[in-house]
């Protein structure tokens, strides 16, 4: 049987199935939805905080869902869709909080192409409008033990880290270990971005890879005795726990899925298995959320992983005379940057020329920084739990 016709048929079926899946998943603008609300005028409403707030300098962004009008001039009706609200950081809110607030929807600027692209990306996530708020009141909380247990552990670690490490190191450690960037000085964030090190202070596939590497080092004896299967399963469990700890945002879940796929691919022992695992992970993510295809984070993550699979080993072989502690991070950085360069240039119109050198210096230190931050956080958390009289007696 000829293979070419079968490939053509498979591609045609895939295109049709993809179109059907997208038409089902694509968020549509519904009459009476959040998009239909008046702009540039205060509106009172209630909603549910869908995820942890995202810090934006002196403000933070909330995604609200389950919206309901509470405005005398507009009524008390449910509002389909989701709303992105920016408000001062002075308002402390958490995921799953029910809030009442007064918002002002922002009118889109028809002459701002960047804002139009940003709104289109949000629309694919079901977010129909942008708003600002200056008043907010927490009126309830929807409990979810599966979400709150990891969030409680994350807060405990953050408190412990702040207790034992001074600033700005504590905030930097929180960003590297847990992806919490709220306390990092904007000047430090900008410096990391200029050096091509933004991935260091954001949870990404790199952090997941470090967790995998630490687990692999800890399970060497198991690997020697039982083969790669048990250590691989242990690593997948550890990655799952880490994802729950840092918060299962789309970027983190994406990185974890790819890491898990590559881990299982190692059982096959060939680059072909790894490539198949990567394609399988991408396929699952696109089937679940077709809008991910237009998400820059998804594109960068998939391309960087593909670059590591295809380019890292040949590059490392060409640098064979270099010491391993220099050769490996340089090869990984150049491979990832080469694969993601088209998207970086098209999206951000800039690329860091010093990234390979900066990563060569910084990347080898990150596992030790993560381990040290974790140890400091645990020690600080345990110390805070010790009753003060007992601690005083122990010091006398």
Give the distance between the most distant pair of CA atoms in the chain: 85
Q: What share of the chain is helix, strand, coil (3-state, %, to 5)?
A: 60, 15, 25
Residue 358 predicted with pLDDT over 70:
yes
Which pLDDT score is estimated for 394? 47
Q: Which residues contact 70 (CB under 8 A, 6 or more apart)?
A: 44, 45, 46, 76, 100
User: For 245-252, what is the mean pLDDT?
Assistant: 70
pTM, two decimal places: 0.62
User: For 318-328, what is the mean pLDDT?
Assistant: 77
Which pLDDT score is estimated for 9? 63
* CATH code of the domain made up of 34-142: 2.40.50.140
**What tens digit of pLDDT does each residue of 2-45 get?**
555 665 666 666 666 666 665 555 554 445 578 888 888 888 89
User: For 242-269, what is the mean pLDDT?
Assistant: 69
**What tens digit of pLDDT does each residue of 199-210 get?**
677 666 666 766
Q: What confidence category does residue 396 fall into, taking pLDDT thresholds of 50, 70 and 90?
A: very low
Alpha carbon distance 103, 61 (integer Å): 13
Residue 108 predicted with pLDDT over 50:
yes
Nearest 10 degrees: Cα torsion 212, 198, 330, 371: -40
Residue 48 predicted with pLDDT over 80:
yes
Sequence ranges of the domains in the chain: 34-142, 156-375
DSSP character for 388?
Answer: H
Which pLDDT score is estimated for 99? 92
Which pLDDT score is estimated for 29? 47
- Measuring CA to CA, which residue among 293, 296, 305, 361 is closest to residue 336? 305
Residue 183 predicted with pLDDT over 50:
yes
């Amino acid at each position: 049987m000829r293979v070419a016709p079968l490939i053509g048929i498979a591609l045609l079926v895939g295109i049709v199935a993809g179109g059907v899946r997208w038409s089902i998943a694509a968020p549509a603008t519904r009459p009476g939805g959040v998009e239909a609300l008046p702009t540039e005028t205060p509106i009172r409403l209630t909603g549910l905080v869908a995820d942890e707030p995202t810090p934006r300098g002196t403000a933070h962004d909330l995604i609200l869902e389950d919206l309901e009008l509470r405005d005398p001039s507009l009524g008390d009706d449910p509002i389909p869709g989701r709303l992105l609200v920016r408000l001062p950081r002075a308002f402390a809110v958490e995921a799953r909080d029910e809030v009442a607030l007064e918002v002002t929807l922002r009118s889109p600027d028809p002459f701002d192409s960047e804002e139009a692209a940003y709104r289109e990306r949000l629309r694919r996530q079901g977010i129909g409008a942008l708003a600002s708020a200056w008043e907010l009141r927490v009126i309830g909380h929807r409990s979810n033990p599966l979400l709150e247990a990891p969030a409680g552990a994350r807060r405990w670690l953050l408190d412990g880290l702040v207790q034992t490490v001074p600033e700005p190191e504590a905030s930097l450690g929180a960003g590297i270990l847990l992806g919490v960037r709220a306390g990092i000085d904007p000047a430090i964030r900008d410096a990391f971005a200029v050096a091509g090190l933004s991935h260091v202070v954001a949870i990404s596939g790199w952090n997941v890879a470090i967790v995998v590497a630490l687990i692999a080092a800890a399970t060497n004896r198991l690997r020697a005795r039982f083969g790669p299967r048990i250590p691989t399963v242990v690593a997948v469990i550890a990655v799952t726990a880490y994802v729950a700890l840092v918060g299962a945002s789309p970027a983190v879940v994406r990185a974890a899925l790819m890491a898990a796929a590559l881990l299982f691919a190692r059982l096959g022992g060939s680059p072909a298995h790894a490539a198949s695992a990567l394609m399988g992970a991408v396929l699952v993510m696109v089937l679940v959320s077709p809008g991910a295809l237009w998400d820059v984070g998804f594109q960068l993550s998939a391309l960087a992983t593909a670059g590591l699979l295809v380019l890292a080993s040949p590059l490392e072989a060409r640098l064979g005379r270099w010491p391993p502690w220099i050769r490996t991070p340089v090869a990984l950085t150049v491979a990832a940057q080469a694969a993601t360069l088209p998207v970086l240039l098209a999206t951000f119109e800039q690329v860091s020329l010093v990234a390979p050198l900066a990563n060569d210096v910084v990347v080898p230190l990150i596992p030790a920084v993560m381990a040290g931050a974790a140890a400091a956080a645990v020690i600080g958390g345990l110390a805070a739990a010790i009753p003060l009289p007992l601690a005083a007696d122990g010091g006398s």
